[in-house]
Chain A
Amino acid sequence: MSGQREPRGEEHRDDDASSAPDLDVVLSSRVRIARNLHGLPFVNKASEDQCEHVVKTTRHLLMHIPSNDRMIWVDLEQSSSHERQLLVERHLISRQHADNNIRRGVAVAENEQSSVMINEEDHVRMQVLRSGLQLSDANEACRSMDESLGNHLEYAYRERWGHLSACPTNVGTGIRLSAMLHLPALRLTNDIDRVRQAAKDLHLAVRGFYGEGSESTGNFYQVSNQVTLGRSEEAILDEFEGTIIPTLVRYERAARQVLFDKHRRELEDRVFRAFGMLGTARMLKLEEAKKLLSSLRLGVCLDMLRETDANITMNTIDNLMLLVQPGHLRQHVNCTISPEQARGVRADLVRQILIGD
């Protein structure tokens, strides 16, 4: 199995997250493009041979497209469920892609800033990830990947519909922009439902931490465009990155300011309780850890933890958000652990990273 490798379990993505724009509200940006190959049924109707054909055709290309980042191929049919879990937790494949049971794989850039899922719902789903609000940058990288592949593959395309997709929700540009937002203050001021309604009116999808079908824990919301047809990539990007996300960022910051000015005591109580719990707990459930980390993150953004000795940054917390997930914990201890054991390992890891315990 040459070219295969365990996904890394420890450090964060390689881009310089500390300087990422709007990191106080936007954890990460993602651009995803869906494509299908001409002359073949979509994945849901493809035979085993046809799936194999798609893998063979794309895999070789992906290993050789001009790119700054070396791509590593992971054959998901051969990989362990633990490996797949890690890839899901790092947002490099979808849950659906992990759980599917057909010939499929993913090419992951060594710096983990991009990945190309083969035989997910569509034959090809390429995505680029960035810290903070960097959609133009991600879009540029994704477009160039699309063009490189498009020079060698014939995509399924119709003049009227544009790029054809297996699901009607992706036809046209096949482009999906998303931003992972941290909106704790809008939640506390009870404005989050208004935001959800506004998002719906603007044809945006609002989902939880793992995208489709997942609930929001710790006030993390993935916002993405739903309309892929009838508007150019540029128009979609301009509106999303130029208007929609900045507006949400502004609302959240304003709500944080209100809390800070008018309810400082309550806010501090929340933040320092979270800090205390995370710094002393001996067992932590995943949900609990995420909620506490969310409160702590808000405190760090408002510079409330200055007076403590701990040197906690947003990156520390975002990194912890990754590390407390079950797959990452398993990777950390390097053996299978029960859910109860995982709670203990999680609490120990959090204390170690937050306060050097």
Chain B
Amino acid sequence: MKCDMCDKPAVVHEVTIVHGVKREVHLCVDHASEAGVAMPGISSSTNKLISKFSAGGKPTVMAPRCPQCGTSFAQIRQHSLIGCPDCYDTFEEPLGRLIERAQAGATHHVGRENASVDRPSERMQRERRLMDSLANALSNEQYERAAEIRDQINQLSDESQDESLESETT
């Protein structure tokens, strides 16, 4: 079994039951010590020290969780199910490796883009950036540069009009 946080073999395995929900944690040497877990083989005084900090009997391992849905990466790997869109951002790196394995090494999307609402907002962001640099150029009296930027802005709004015409006719 592999570590929940990386691809190294897990040496610490903990199963806890919190509010009736079973939770498994598997960690490698590095991540276990980082998480402050008592390790077999580490001197007993260190273990005692650690257990003092984790008084109350509950294990102290804190696997990072998706702030949106509360899923940990261990759960994702265990069930091969991701909790929500934000999990993709929270666990981008380990999830990326999982996806790569499932997808014959692919790491990026190629193909149809999101049909819906995203595009206008991307365009608006670009427009806003251009407006900012236009203001900048004007305040620095870089008129040639400002003219260039204005052309780009005009082009952008032309494109958006074309697109909205297209979507009206289809």
Contacts and interface: CB of A to CB of B under 8 A. Distances in A.
A349 to B, nearest CB: 40
Interface in B102-151: 102-118
B156 interface: no
Nearest to A41: B84
B11 interface: no
Interface in A130-174: 143, 146-147, 150-169, 171-173
A157 B118 contact: yes
Nearest to A202: B104
A186 B106 CA distance: 32
A235 B105 CA distance: 16
Interface string A230-266: 1111110000000000000000000000000000000
A64 interface: no
B108 A156 contact: no
Contact of A42 (B83, B102, B106, B112): B83
Nearest to B89: A158
Chain A's interface size range is 35 or more
Given A154-B117, A164-B88, 11 more contacts: A44-B81, A150-B114, A157-B114, A158-B89, A158-B109, A161-B99, A167-B82, A230-B106, A231-B106, A232-B110, A232-B112
Interface of B: 68-71, 79-85, 88-89, 95, 98-99, 102-118
Interface of A: 36, 38-42, 44-45, 121, 143, 146-147, 150-169, 171-173, 203, 226-235
20 contacts: A41-B69, A42-B82, A42-B83, A44-B81, A44-B83, A45-B69, A45-B83, A155-B115, A158-B88, A163-B109, A164-B82, A164-B85, A164-B88, A167-B81, A168-B80, A168-B102, A171-B109, A172-B106, A172-B111, A226-B104
